[in-house]
Structure 1
């Protein structure tokens, strides 16, 4: 048994145990709250003869005890009907049938439709003229949010994120593709409750794909205490109020037949070993209410060996914070090793590394550990197979990303920044968002790198001669001129990166040769004002994959992020809401000429401003495009 295999099963075991032992029971009900109804095209009388037969057959199947899923089809003529219905596994048979009857009524109200879908809290029903049983996620997946705000949003977010992450991992590995659980909210006697469910006709990978999309949609409901995610092949729901029931054996039942006893025994062994280690481990004290784990300590000689003595052949790149190398460790895993431009590891350094190593988010690079025993300080990071976004926009792999992948990079980057700004227990401002610091995994999902590293460097060791730690072209004007940094500085940089993702051009490129002083941002304003959004899109993108409305929406969000007035820029959590908003009901961006008075900053060092403003202003054309 290898160490990698052992710890892989450790994660599975704890996910399973988490769901099994922390399930909360409540009284059942049919849960016939209608969440979504959609209808398709018209058809003939023979179609409805088939449809009525499938309605009856599905209900017959659901009438059997503990039957929560049914399909039926009538395909004897040219107008076939395929139907699927599913109830949540915590419901009784009677409640399941009640919910199905309400779903049937709503589906029938679509009148002469050849396809319909009704999704309720307790069940869903779908029929169509084609087989759809293996569909996992399709355009139109949505998140539906409540309107009550959590009293302590950050603590609620922490509890919910861990809970839904566990459900997303565990559910595809369960035979019935269903899991329900709850999690306590730190510092209170309250909990958050959640379920995840896929259609049993999906393969585990299809279920995983669907739930990952559901997780992405439902997390946008924060800080509200209720949320649901609806997709073709899955359903996810959370609430601060208990909503699932049945006895515990029903919740545990999906785990039987999967080596549960072995998993439990393995988890107990691991748990005991962790308790033993915890009793002697140092470094759990940081902050007033948060217990942070120390990062793993690596030996210098091991990292030197893993990187072939920091060979140029293993060099992945370099940036303002140091060089990065690929490393292959004894377990067979691949890591990234960053040499830091820091001379010594003082107490502040150790505290900052501890904070950063406890950041866990799907769109942020994991800091796995560090090494301070050699001639330079080293950080050990998660390795990303596809490298930086930069080479996909205007490097050696330019043109590979399609519209869907570009959109996912935009959304994923926004989620990572929102987590750093508002959802982690301390606020982390990146200060250097650019395509080099956005890395792509094997599935082209984005993860932000180098977040928080500016905090590790002494003031005199920042990679720009002034106290600005960003990259010109992406740096907000107020930061470039006055060194005044805030979350809105990252928002500005994000907006510039979005324009680069859309266009496949650098922010310093001139896109209209008839206007040689018109850089990317200025050109984007021209495209926006003239209502010709497709003029900005990278020529490598297939125009059939996107609509003018979709592109215009993204351009508008980018321009909102790059407004000169700091207070006019949205927070990253608001950016996420805008990305998911289909109503278009929001304040449009204002194109104001750059003016230092707009910066809304307090300058605490007049001598710095006097010495650095002339250089910074000289770069404002590059920074702002105007």
Structure 2
């Protein structure tokens, strides 16, 4: 630990360590950095884990020939994952020097749970989630926006010649990098008229398709820099650069002849004589057939903003023909099956049950939207399939299943308070991302405990966001316009159809109370003297300061934890107030949940529950009926919905 502290102090007092290749101009140019804005749960412990991962990365890069490294520290629940990558033309010492320069920037990021820094010679990133290991395009907190930078000087005359040479060079970089075995290419071009040489590289961290997409973007952006003599492009998945100033040695170039199979601009086009008209047409026909087959295969495996289009039969095989033994769960959307793909990856396949008109078009539009959502607390969409009326989603597989299993199911009592708090905090962060941090506001509308899945280390991931329009009517739904579950849904939405992001805030408050109490929202307290549902009981416990009676009996809390729970109960009650304008936004909730944050001056009023004595709705699960009694507000709407539901299902009035 002492060595680590000395190492970091050394970096802080030398923030711009330069390094040289065989060229004096090859210094570490700082291009871009980002410090995350979402605070870790325990900042001191997170910083400690971050520093240990950075030290481990440096240790790996000290080995000869190692130009990329990964490390992680999972101590005390404040997980940190980190990765570093140097350009392939660097020596060991040059790579470490660039890394040290990067760390001197990153150690100044003390408030957020993720950060990255980019130099022309290296890149370092750390996060509290591991997704970016396997998909460098996964972004959080606003990170990952593609960016480019152009030099200040323009090429000398003739500019047209310079632009033509650089365009050919960038074309080869674009085409060859995704095909190179290590996703790295370094090339040079001579400009005879100017007695100059242009140097360029392309480098990816990922598989062929993301690399190709990234390099296409790099080519377009760098062409916009012309006729300036240098340019840089950066995205989470790739890096590209050109310059008339040498930044690697001439003997470090890549032979791309075999990579591009003779189509490089360095290889002259050999024009052969075609012997006979018949041979000519044969070649044309064969080429057309080949292109058609290749195009069909590309469409089948098309990368739809990160989600792969799977073949239906492959998923059918992977789930053993959607066999009962593979069912992970059932819900309003349909069944979820465990599937093992050809590469032995285990995924979850959700088979949607829908009967809407134009549903396939809606489905594909929705997939395009949710496949672009990446967050540590949102379940990732890996792929999709649509064949006729069979609509399938391929999702991350969560071995621990859903949260309700750990609250009142088979694993009840296994979650301690720290784990429960992190689950509450994670749900809040996921919802804040859907509401405010994604380019389109997404309202979940059906937040409940069995829509919260848990990773191996009990981190929460929200499922089924973006799919509410596909939810069919069943015994838990008042009308076709309503897509939610009674007991979790805000009164203004359940009774009046008024939808806003505050509907999710209400549901979050209810789920938080379930996590604290270990009780279902629709469960009446077992005490014979009480007929209160969860929300009503939470309010009374808060009012009377008897919250210990509300907390799950399986929790063994010390004094500090009891005070912490009291604060979370208060936040949950804030989230369940009516009207909706009294509820905080989920971004405000995230701030409230952080350690040391004050709730501020907020008036806390009695929450409104659609189950309480003023608005009591009973769901008859056996007969699929809805009965309203003692309804003081909107009785006509509830009764009409009840009558409509019975009529549609052929039930007696």
| 1:303 equivalent in alignment to 2:171 | no
Using the TM superposition, give the Cα deviation of residue 533 of structure 1 relative to its aligned residue in structure 2, in angstroms. Answer: 2.2
Structure 1: distance between partners of 2:116 and 2:468:
45
Structure 1: distance between partners of 2:316 and 2:16:
64
Structure 1: distance between partners of 2:607 and 2:488:
18
- SS state at 2:422 partner: helix
Paired residue for 1:612, among 637, 640, 643?
Answer: 637
Contact 2:447–2:488, Cα closer than 8 Å, also in 1: yes
TM-score in terms of structure 2 length: 0.54
- Shift in CA distance, 461/294, structure 1 to aligned 2, threshold 3 Å: farther
Using the TM superposition, give the Cα deviation of residue 94 of structure 1 relative to its aligned residue in structure 2, in angstroms. Answer: 12
Structure 2: gaps of 5 or more residues: 18-39, 62-69, 83-105, 127-180, 186-201, 217-294, 616-632, 644-653
- Shift in CA distance, 322/545, structure 1 to aligned 2, threshold 3 Å: farther
Structure 1: distance between partners of 2:14 and 2:205:
36
Structure 2: distance between partners of 1:361 and 1:409:
14
| 1:590 equivalent in alignment to 2:605 | yes
- Shift in CA distance, 545/262, structure 1 to aligned 2, threshold 3 Å: farther
| 1:205 equivalent in alignment to 2:230 | no
| 1:486 equivalent in alignment to 2:500 | yes
The residue aligned with 2:439 is: 425
Q: Deviations over 1:173-222 (max 9, x none)?
A: 622599xxxxxxxxxxxxxxxxxxxxxxx9843589656499xxxxxxxx
The residue aligned with 1:34 is: none
- Shift in CA distance, 299/208, structure 1 to aligned 2, threshold 3 Å: farther
Paired residue for 1:382, among 396, 401, 406?
Answer: 396
- SS state at 2:11 partner: coil
The residue aligned with 1:468 is: 482
The residue aligned with 2:562 is: 548
Q: Deviations over 1:410-456 (max 9, x none)?
A: 00000011111111111111111111100001111100001110134
- Shift in CA distance, 407/173, structure 1 to aligned 2, threshold 3 Å: same
Structure 1: distance between partners of 2:108 and 2:43:
13
- Shift in CA distance, 342/410, structure 1 to aligned 2, threshold 3 Å: same
CA RMSD across the alignment: 4.8
| 1:536 equivalent in alignment to 2:419 | no
TM-score in terms of structure 1 length: 0.56
- Shift in CA distance, 417/584, structure 1 to aligned 2, threshold 3 Å: closer
Contact 1:168–1:208, Cα closer than 8 Å, also in 2: no
Structure 2: distance between partners of 1:169 and 1:84:
13
The residue aligned with 2:372 is: 358
- SS state at 1:174 partner: helix
Contact 1:336–1:381, Cα closer than 8 Å, also in 2: yes
- Shift in CA distance, 468/542, structure 1 to aligned 2, threshold 3 Å: same
Structure 2: distance between partners of 1:460 and 1:593:
24
Contact 1:345–1:377, Cα closer than 8 Å, also in 2: no
The residue aligned with 2:249 is: none
Structure 1: gaps of 5 or more residues: 1-68, 73-82, 96-136, 145-166, 179-201, 215-232, 255-260, 284-290, 600-607, 619-626
Question: Which structure 2 residues correspond to residues 283-362 of structure 1 after superposition, within 5 A?
Answer: 293=305, 295-343=307-355, 345-362=359-376
Q: Deviations over 1:350-390 (max 9, x none)?
A: 11111011110010001111111255111111110100001
Paired residue for 1:401, among 396, 415, 428?
Answer: 415
The residue aligned with 1:561 is: 575
- The size of the alignment, in residue pairs, is 413
Using the TM superposition, give the Cα deviation of residue 518 of structure 1 relative to its aligned residue in structure 2, in angstroms. Answer: 1.3
Using the TM superposition, give the Cα deviation of residue 71 of structure 1 relative to its aligned residue in structure 2, in angstroms. Answer: 4.3
- SS state at 2:519 partner: coil
- Shift in CA distance, 277/243, structure 1 to aligned 2, threshold 3 Å: closer
Using the TM superposition, give the Cα deviation of residue 458 of structure 1 relative to its aligned residue in structure 2, in angstroms. Answer: 8.1
| 1:511 equivalent in alignment to 2:414 | no
- SS state at 1:543 partner: coil
- Shift in CA distance, 427/89, structure 1 to aligned 2, threshold 3 Å: same
Greater relative contact order structure (CA < 8 Å, 6+ sep): 1
Contact 2:417–2:555, Cα closer than 8 Å, also in 1: yes
Q: Which has the higher helix share?
A: 1
The residue aligned with 1:9 is: none
Contact 1:482–1:613, Cα closer than 8 Å, also in 2: no
